[in-house]
Chain A
Amino acid sequence: METESKMTPQRSLELINETLEANRKAIIAGSGKYLIMWGCLLLVFSLAVWACWHLSGSPVWNLLWFAMWPVGLLVSRIVGKGDRIPQNYVSSLIGKVWAAFGIFAPVTAALAVIAFPMNITLVIILLFGFAETVSGIALKNWPIIIAGAIVGIGGACAAVALAPGAEQILLFTGAALVLALTGVAIQVRK
């Protein structure tokens, strides 16, 4: 890139637009890595909870979910080590949306266990899909918007349709696959 040049006003505007767009794409691509990471983690935890619950017959194995957040934070630190992708308003907004989900989900689950019985799978999968769709809207990325809607609305309907039990956990396995595949799609588009 030239340092000093006789740029026309048109070329200057083009350069600004090109740079802003390239920057936006780099930030979206950076978020793909974290979608894959959280998708894989959710996949592992959902299969672990399902297997333990299925084999033992005890729903107490749902307590494993509470370990997912600290593990996830640790893994995301490792994944993000040496990361050069900067934060902008959109990426920090997405981080805050998922942080809110990270608070709502375990608190609601804990309240459901302790005092207010409810279909917690329905609530959490709806929240999950909502957070993913909001992320997609912020990123102006249709695959994420659609994936979030499928997971949230489809998952909520499936949570009601399925009989209570270990099999409901497999809905999170499906959500995890959608999340990870969304991340893969973003990375491939990069």
Chain B
Amino acid sequence: MFDKLDPLLHSELRLAVMSVLVGTDEADFVYLRQQTGATAGNLSVQLDKLAAAGYITVEKGFQGKKPRTTCRVTDAGRTAFAAYVEALRSYIGQ
């Protein structure tokens, strides 16, 4: 029996974002864009989706005089990511 894959994480960009965030305390928007190779607009939309699901928090602030958007994965996000990886394993293992 295959575990159901979380549709929110089963997307290349959102999965890449979550993979970056689970490996860091926090990451800013520019770094996420560099690591994923996504466009700013697309990344912004996907971050909103992850935030709406409660998987990440998005904080807008300033670094000096420049605006800075910082993202952090939540406990719910970590749990969902771990469950997603477990579900993947159930597919690969078959």
Q: Give the B-binding residues of A (Cβ under 8 A).
A: 1-5, 7, 9-10, 12-13, 15-16, 19-20, 22-24, 26-27, 81-82, 84-89, 92
Q: Quick one: which of B35-52 are within 8 Å of A by CB?
A: 35-38, 42, 45-46
Residues of A within 8 A of B15 (CB): 7, 12, 15-16, 19
* Closest CB in chain A relative to B2 CB, distance in Å: 9
Once A9-B88, A20-B23, A84-B28 are accepted as A-B contacts, the answer to whether A15 and B34 lie under 8 Å apart by CB is no
B4 at the interface (CB under 8 A from A): no
B83 at the interface (CB under 8 A from A): no
Choice from A2, A20, A89 contacting B12 with Cβ under 8 Å:
A2
Complex Cα–Cα for A19 and B16 (A) = 6
CB-based A-B contact count at 8 angstroms: 85
Choice from A16, A19, A87 contacting B85 with Cβ under 8 Å:
A16
Choice from A12, A22, A26, A86 contacting B25 with Cβ under 8 Å:
A86
Complex Cα–Cα for A22 and B46 (A) = 20
* Closest CB in chain A relative to B90 CB, distance in Å: 9
Question: From DSSP, what is the main secondary structure of chain B's interface residues?
Answer: helix
Once A26-B35, A84-B34 are accepted as A-B contacts, the answer to whether A2 and B88 lie under 8 Å apart by CB is no
* A-B residue pairs in contact (CB < 8 Å), sample of 29: A1-B16, A1-B38, A2-B13, A3-B12, A3-B13, A3-B14, A7-B12, A10-B92, A12-B84, A12-B88, A13-B88, A13-B92, A15-B12, A15-B16, A16-B15, A16-B19, A19-B19, A23-B19, A23-B20, A24-B23, A27-B24, A84-B34, A86-B24, A86-B26, A86-B27, A86-B31, A87-B24, A87-B26, A89-B25
Once A7-B12, A16-B19, A20-B19 are accepted as A-B contacts, the answer to whether A88 and B63 lie under 8 Å apart by CB is no
Choice from B10, B19, B20, B27 contacting A7 with Cβ under 8 Å:
B10
Complex Cα–Cα for A12 and B28 (A) = 23
B30 at the interface (CB under 8 A from A): yes
Residue of B with least CB distance to A90: B23
Choice from B35, B46, B91 contacting A9 with Cβ under 8 Å:
B91
